[in-house]
Amino acid sequence: MDEPGPMPPITFGLTLPPELPPAQLFPLARLAEVLGFERLWFPDHLLHVEEGEAAADTWTVLGAVAARTRRIQLGTAVSDPHRTHPAVLAQRVATLDRLSEGRFLLGLGSGEAMNLDPFGIPWDRPLSRLKEGVAILRHLLDRPDPLDFEGRFFRTRQARITVRPHLDRHVPLYLAALGPKALAFAGQVADGWFPVVIPPEHFAQYCAPLEEAARAAGRDPGALDRVVMMPFALGAEPDRLQELLRRHALSLVWPAAVRQMGLGHLLSEEIRTDYLTVNPCDPESAQDFLANQERIPDELLRLFMTWGDLRALEERVSAYVEAGGTHFDLLNLSPDPLSTTVAVAATVMPRFTGRPATLPARLLNPLLRGLDRLGLLRRLRLLPTGDPIA
């Protein structure tokens, strides 16, 4: 085939927890849009590990956010093919794409125990199930003719959906993939790759098989969007920032990825319950998971997460761009997520996107810094209910 085309432009998005109260969620979504972020990503869970932490229905939230925004793209990060039949999933995707006027992105992965095991939802042979689900989904979304499909997990007879994506467009599919077979599948059929957190030093080694699979399938490997999931914390107290990030250690540092990178010797042998295997409905499993957060060594935290000042974040973004990253899904875990998100939009993003910061970003950044110096920012970050804004 011809030489690969140009890489997709560098873009930035934010992860927003769908369980945020509406008084926080909707203003944050609108703020992200006016600050110049291209995408909002929403995790899709039935359960969270932490006791008392609600897991809202992502698809309902996506519809509400779509109605309150105009330009920013909206996606799942990520859903799975086990909880929903691919025909129902196709209907949801097409409906959301119509509601958002062509702004929806579908992120899919092979699933986790926390969303499946407590409810008796099977997820045996998850990659095979994902492949079948994608085949049905893609046909129903892209083609009006009926589908007859005979698979191991799904069967259809003259199946079609009557709701179509906005202007019959191709809704982009992003696949979460880590193992060789999953990476090959993503390269063959996906529009983008949405992995777990991978350090920049190891990012390129995952891009290579992705590109090889795309090339073998007759696709342009340069056109694949490569998402960088990027947890970070900005502030003036490094020890506090590291402690904040440690609370998410086992959700963001996956032992399976660590071992693939040849860093398994850094993992404690006591870690047997991780993000893929934890059952939040089992108190022993949940407690073991939370205890294992402390067993992730500082060396791995430094590899997988970023903390410090804006310069540290910019250097990290540069390293990922060099390794092949094209879209940055920012997970802001800073003590002050409001002003740091504005600062990123005003100073870091323009250096990589090639576009100037938006007017709201340019105006808000010095204003918030001034309020912080006066000691007023903390009060303004509280809603009338006393809940923090993020």
Q: Specify the pLDDT at position 390.
A: 33
DSSP-derived secondary structure letter, 79: B
pTM of the full structure: 0.94
Q: Specify the pLDDT at position 384.
A: 37
Q: What angle, 0 to 180 degrees and rounded to 10, lies between the N-to-C axes of helices 359-373 and 22-35?
A: 120
Query: Residue 1 in contact with residue 218, Cβ under 8 Å?
Result: yes
Q: How far apart are CA 344 and CA 357, in angstroms?
A: 10
Q: Specify the pLDDT at position 1.
A: 44
- 11-252+303-380: CATH topology is TIM Barrel (3.20.20)
Neighbours of 179 (CB within 10 A): 14
pLDDT tens over the chain, length 390 residues: 455 567 789 999 999 999 999 999 999 999 999 999 999 999 999 999 987 788 999 999 999 999 999 999 999 999 999 999 999 999 999 999 999 999 999 999 999 999 999 999 998 899 999 999 999 999 999 999 999 999 999 999 999 999 999 999 999 999 999 999 999 999 999 999 999 999 999 999 999 999 999 999 999 999 999 999 999 999 999 999 999 999 999 999 999 999 999 999 999 999 999 999 999 999 999 999 999 999 999 999 999 999 999 999 999 999 999 999 999 999 999 999 999 999 999 999 999 999 999 999 999 999 998 887 777 666 555 433 333 333
Q: How far apart are CA 381 and CA 14, in angstroms?
A: 19
Q: Specify the pLDDT at position 386.
A: 33
Q: Specify the pLDDT at position 371.
A: 80
